[in-house]
């Protein structure tokens, strides 16, 4: 894979999977824009990439806000030239089962994962279409396919991202723009370390044939591949990276 001359915007890039994607693409020659609501973490990530010889900058953004999308894309283009890659990765969770889920919690989760994904695509697709090229990778979850007990809003949002990905892929293919998504299984990130009990982790790993979590870099490898020209005939794919959790 070679990202020389590419400009990649990655949301939620301050830590976890997003940071691993930024590092991977930065190492492969892309100028990377690390966007996160937590600016100091994104700045630390950008510094590390630059320290390793790459080109990177950090920008504060809330993926729920259309004006933030506009500002971040404008700044990325001003600094590095036309954007060629978008990775919609920012996320969070509010667990809850279908029966007891509050509408506020449901809508909050949908907004961060699904609405933001739409906003991001609406912002960059005209730019990509005009250039006649571009690749988007949306970070969904294996729960999009199998559902998660006590994860109703999250599973619905992640399934919505798959539908959005496939619709955009159909609409944009003739303009040289590819849109794919990845469906990670349990991945060893700060979110999982902070929020998931050892008991639930053990239960999920028992359902995972490879019996371990992914490292963020293992998810980033697939995201980078789908965004790269090596995947030039891949669009509308929902690629599971789950250690066999769902087959
Ligand atoms: N870790 C897993 O097991 C796992 C599995 C499947 C899918 N995913 C998905 O992968 C993505 C990354 O997950 P992670 O585990 O690395 O999470 P993480 O919590 O470690 O990192 C998420 C990043 O997103 C940022 N963020 C959150 N809300 C934001 C907002 N509104 N605007 C801008 N930035 C925001 C956070 O500040 C953080 O830096 C998420 O979409 C998550 O749903 C994770």
Per-residue model confidence (pLDDT) at position 35: 98
Residue 202 forms part of a structural domain: yes
Three-class SS of residue 208?
coil
Q: To test the ligand 1 pocket, which listed residue (43, 140, 189) has its Cβ within 8 A of the most ligand atoms?
A: 189
CB 109 within 8 A of CB 154: yes
What domain count does the chain have? 1
Per-residue model confidence (pLDDT) at position 53: 97
d(CA 218, CA 206): 20
Per-residue model confidence (pLDDT) at position 247: 87
CA 240–ligand 1 middle distance (angstroms) = 17
Residue 1 forms part of a structural domain: no
d(CA 11, CA 231): 21
Asked if residue 160 has its Cβ within 6 Å of ligand 1, the reply is no
Structure tokens given for 188: 């060893």
DSSP-assigned beta bridge partners for residue 9: 33, 86
Residue 71 forms part of a structural domain: yes
98 to each of 66, 149, 158, 159, how far by Cα in Å?
A: 29, 9, 15, 15
Residue 245 forms part of a structural domain: no
| Domain, as residue range, for 77 | 7-240
Catalytic residue among 154, 162, 177, 214: 154
CA 174–ligand 1 middle distance (angstroms) = 31
Asked if residue 41 has its Cβ within 6 Å of ligand 1, the reply is yes
d(CA 75, CA 220): 24
Residue 30 forms part of a structural domain: yes
Kindly write down the DSSP assignment for every residue of 28-44, as one continuous string.
Answer: TT-EEEEEESSHHHHHH
CA 191–ligand 1 middle distance (angstroms) = 7
Asked if residue 87 has its Cβ within 6 Å of ligand 1, the reply is no
- Nearest atom in ligand 1 to the alpha carbon of residue 88 is 41
Residue 112 forms part of a structural domain: yes
Q: Is residue 154 flagged as an active site residue? A: yes
Angle at 124 between CA 120 and CA 128, to 5 degrees: 150
Q: What is the CATH number of the domain that holds 219?
A: 3.40.50.720
Per-residue model confidence (pLDDT) at position 130: 84
DSSP one-letter code for 174: G
Walk along the chain (247 residues) and give the pLDDT tens digit of each residue: 999 999 999 999 999 999 999 999 999 999 999 999 999 999 999 999 999 999 999 999 999 999 999 999 999 999 999 999 999 999 999 999 999 999 999 999 999 999 999 999 999 998 898 888 999 999 999 999 999 999 999 999 999 999 999 999 999 999 999 999 999 999 999 999 998 899 999 999 999 999 999 999 999 999 999 999 999 999 999 999 999 999 8
- The H or E element containing residue 139 is strand 134-139
Query: Which residue has the CA at smallest separation from atom 2 of ligand 1?
Result: 187
Residue 247 forms part of a structural domain: no
Asked if residue 24 has its Cβ within 6 Å of ligand 1, the reply is no
Residue 147 forms part of a structural domain: yes
Q: What is the pTM of this model?
A: 0.98
């Amino acid at each position: 894979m070679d990202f020389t001359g590419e400009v990649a915007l990655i949301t939620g890039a301050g830590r976890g999977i997003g940071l691993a994607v930024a590092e991977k693409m930065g190492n492969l020659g892309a100028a990377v824009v690390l966007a996160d609501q937590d600016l100091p973490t994104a700045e630390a990530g950008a510094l590390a990439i630059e320290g390793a010889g790459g080109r990177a900058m950090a920008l504060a953004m809330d993926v729920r806000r259309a004006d933030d999308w506009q500002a971040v894309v404008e700044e990325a283009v001003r600094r590095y030239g036309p954007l060629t890659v978008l990775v919609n990765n920012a996320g969070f969770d509010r667990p809850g089962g279908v029966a007891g889920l509050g509408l506020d919690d449901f809508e909050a989760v949908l907004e961060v994962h699904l609405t933001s994904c739409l906003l991001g695509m609406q912002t960059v697709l005209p730019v990509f279409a005009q250039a006649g090229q571009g690749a988007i990778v949306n970070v969904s979850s294996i729960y999009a396919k199998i559902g998660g007990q006590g994860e109703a809003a999250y599973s619905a949002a992640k399934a919505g991202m798959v539908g959005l990905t496939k619709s955009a892929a159909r609409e944009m293919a003739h303009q040289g723009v590819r849109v794919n998504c990845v469906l990670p299984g349990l991945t060893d990130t700060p979110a999982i370390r902070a929020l998931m009990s050892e008991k639930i982790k053990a239960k999920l790993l028992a359902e995972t044939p490879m019996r371990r979590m992914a490292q963020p870099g293992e998810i980033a490898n697939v995201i980078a591949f789908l965004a790269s020209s090596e995947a030039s005939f891949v669009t509308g794919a929902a690629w599971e990276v789950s250690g066999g959790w769902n087959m």
